[in-house]
Structure 1
């Protein structure tokens, strides 16, 4: 979910970096730049390289090293926050991203990333606050609209969630995740008909998506339409044989 930057990076300490050389080896030119003339820019570039290859532990180390050299770089701290989210350290990610927001309160991507981290920490009210702040910056931010819809669903505020999710779908109708979230909100709000209609439409347009068929099966099962649910679970299993939840649900 690395929003856009990945332009600056860092690592923890030089000894720790040295211990991880075998697992954190970047391109020769980036390694040479970081070792011959250490700078925040060099480590940022190295961290971006690792992040782009989903080597998040290496990226985090690089971002941290860059921050040792230039602690005031909001770009580096933002990228560090994203890497921490991907690594699963949401608590520390939220701390770093809060510092970015304090420094750059109008930075949309930082607000969205912080909202994501807080949502994953289960801090729904704080996540809602950040995502609404993101929408004040850009009312058409689909990340904020979708994230806010998901947060409101956890609070069982389904009508409000549906409103935000509809906006996300209207702006980006081709996004599968947005439309499945909207279907889930309809279903959880006790309105299965539009949920089933939407998921059937998605199943027709995305016949290779186990994700869609699993969600369709789940709504059918909740409505006690067991034959339809079984058919959809079987299709999900055919597309994704390792889906144990679908197998157990049959």
Structure 2
């Protein structure tokens, strides 16, 4: 009889413990709310609860990485994002976040190698332009130009984005005349892109068909 009572007590304790554990969907939703309102510490606490229970949950690892970046905790952010990237290597949002964590860590060589590998693997315009923008950010204009040239070749003049990034590089090295020419070329491809109009105006030119060449 005594043994039966002990067993029942243990079972009740276990059941009570399980009852206090929130469903993962509730924890994720709470983390999402915290992330959206800028409560990054609260978001970390929620997403860490999920990753502690389910380390392979790539969504929780990704969102944990985002919150940690905002808190300036770049090493654990990178670790979480690397797990997410391993689980979902094709997710561009994860690639962007992981690259940002590496950049803020100051690991520029690893960042370049990661993004160049992405270019080699995907052979996409987006990957080239991502590499170019980070090369600009780390003050490597030669590598940025190479990535832009490749993006323009692969894009074939279909979109304005390569011209926008090329103009960013031109401005970075102090060549505003070249930046203006590139933005004009981008305007010809897509005159509805507001970024081009804003940047042309910032350089003193009113966008439109009568722009001087």
Task: From 157, 160, 174, give the equivalent of 2:124.
Answer: 174
Which one of the candidate residues 216, 229, 244 is aligned to 2:179? 229
> Would the aligned equivalents of 2:56 and 2:87 in 1 still touch at CA under 8 Å?
no
What's the TM-score, normalizing by structure 2?
Answer: 0.65
Q: Which segments of 5 or more consecutive residues in structure 2 lack a partner in the other structure?
A: 1-18, 205-213
Q: Distance in 2 between matches of 1:115 and 1:129?
A: 8
2:73 to 123, 127, 140: 123
Instruction: Answer yes or no: is the 8 Å Cα contact 2:27–2:46 preserved in 1.
Output: yes
Q: Secondary structure at the match of 1:186?
A: helix
C-alpha displacement at 1:121, in angstroms?
Answer: 4.0
**Corresponding residue SS for 1:224:** coil
Aligned residue in 1 for 2:45: 95
User: CA offsets per residue over residues 54-107 of structure 1, 9 Å max, x none?
Assistant: xxxxxxxxxxxxxxx99621134224434654x353514333212211221222
Q: Which among 143, 153, 165 is matched to residue 215 of structure 1? A: 165
Counterpart CA distance in 2 for 1:70 and 1:199 is 54
Look up the match of 1:57.
none
Paired residue total: 179
Alignment of 1:100-249 (within 5 A): 100-134=50-84, 138=87, 140=89, 144-174=94-124, 176=126, 178-203=127-152, 205=155, 207=157, 209-236=159-186, 238-241=191-194, 244-249=198-203
Give the Cα–Cα distance (whole angstroms) in 2 for the partners of residues 208 and 70 of structure 1. Answer: 55
Alignment deviations for residues 14-49 of structure 1 (CA, whole Å, 9 cap, x no partner):
xxxxxxxxxxxxxxxxxxxxxxxxxxxxxxxxxxxx
Which 10-residue stretch deviates more, 214-223 or 232-241?
232-241
DSSP 3-state at the match of 2:123: coil
What's the RMSD between the two structures over aligned residues? 3.3
Determine if contact 1:180/1:199 at 8 Å carries over to the other structure.
yes
Highest relative contact order (Cα 8 Å, sep 6+), 1 or 2?
1
Pair member with larger Rg = 2
Identify unmatched segments of 5+ residues in structure 1. 1-68
When residues 224 and 241 of structure 1 are mapped into structure 2, their CA distance, relative to the original with a 3 A threshold, is same
With structure 1 as the length reference, what TM-score do the two structures score?
0.57
